């Protein structure tokens, strides 16, 4: 039995996310931890800073529906109930910290690209999660 009771798996839904899912399967399949999946999308208005003079609501909604469909497939793969699959709009590290705090998460699992130099200075989601987390963080190296 693991010391962890609730594991939050943060996924960006890129092809490399499968490596994180595979690690979670190896570590927690057949155990009694609660596993929650989370994907956080930054609002398109953040990405474009209001530079596009159009309503991006429909595009945001389509992206959210695609993310939910992908989480359903992953949830089926590792036996995570639909109620424990979450797509949230916001800033990834902040929303993972908030979710972890509000839901008694004691381990967050995220993928890490192992960036160096200038890209490390610009930051990454895994670095943001690690430095602001009140619980343990497992960074799975993806390539």
Return the pLDDT at 43: 84
In a domain, 73, yes or no: yes
In a domain, 111, yes or no: yes
**33 lies in which domain range?**
6-141
In a domain, 59, yes or no: yes
| The dihedral sign for the CA sequence 66, 5, 110, 16 | negative
In a domain, 136, yes or no: yes
Q: How many domains does the chain have?
A: 1
Return the pLDDT at 117: 45
Task: State how far the alpha carbon of 132 is from the alpha carbons of 93, 126, 128, in Å.
Answer: 8, 10, 6
Under DSSP, is residue 123 helix (H, G, I), strand (E, B) or coil? coil
CATH number of 121's domain: 3.40.50.620
In whole angstroms, give the CA distance from residue 137 to residue 99: 14
Tokens encoding 59: 């595009």
In a domain, 1, yes or no: no
Per-residue pLDDT reduced to its tens digit, 97-127: 999 999 999 999 999 875 544 444 445 777 8
What is the pLDDT averaged over residues 129-141?
A: 89
Per-residue pLDDT reduced to its tens digit, 29-87: 878 899 999 999 988 765 555 556 667 788 889 999 999 999 999 999 999 999 999 99
Under DSSP, is residue 131 helix (H, G, I), strand (E, B) or coil? helix
Helices (H), the chain: 17-28, 44-48, 57-78, 92-102, 118-122, 125-132
Share of the chain above pLDDT 90, in %: 60
Any idea which residue has 């490596």 for tokens? Answer: 19
């Amino acid at each position: 039995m693991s010391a962890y009771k609730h594991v939050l798996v943060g996924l960006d839904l890129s092809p490399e996310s499968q490596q994180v899912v595979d690690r979670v399967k190896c570590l927690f399949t057949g155990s009694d931890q609660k596993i929650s999946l989370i994907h956080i999308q930054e609002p398109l208005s953040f990405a474009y800073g209001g530079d596009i003079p159009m309503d991006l609501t429909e595009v945001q909604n389509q992206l959210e529906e695609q993310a939910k469909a992908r989480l359903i497939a992953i949830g089926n793969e590792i036996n995570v109930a639909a109620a424990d699959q979450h797509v949230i709009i916001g800033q990834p590290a902040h929303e993972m910290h908030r979710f972890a705090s509000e839901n008694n998460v004691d381990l967050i699992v995220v993928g890490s690209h192992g960036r160096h130099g200038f890209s490390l200075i610009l930051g990454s989601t895994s670095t943001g999660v690690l430095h602001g987390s009140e619980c343990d963080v497992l960074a799975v190296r993806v390539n």
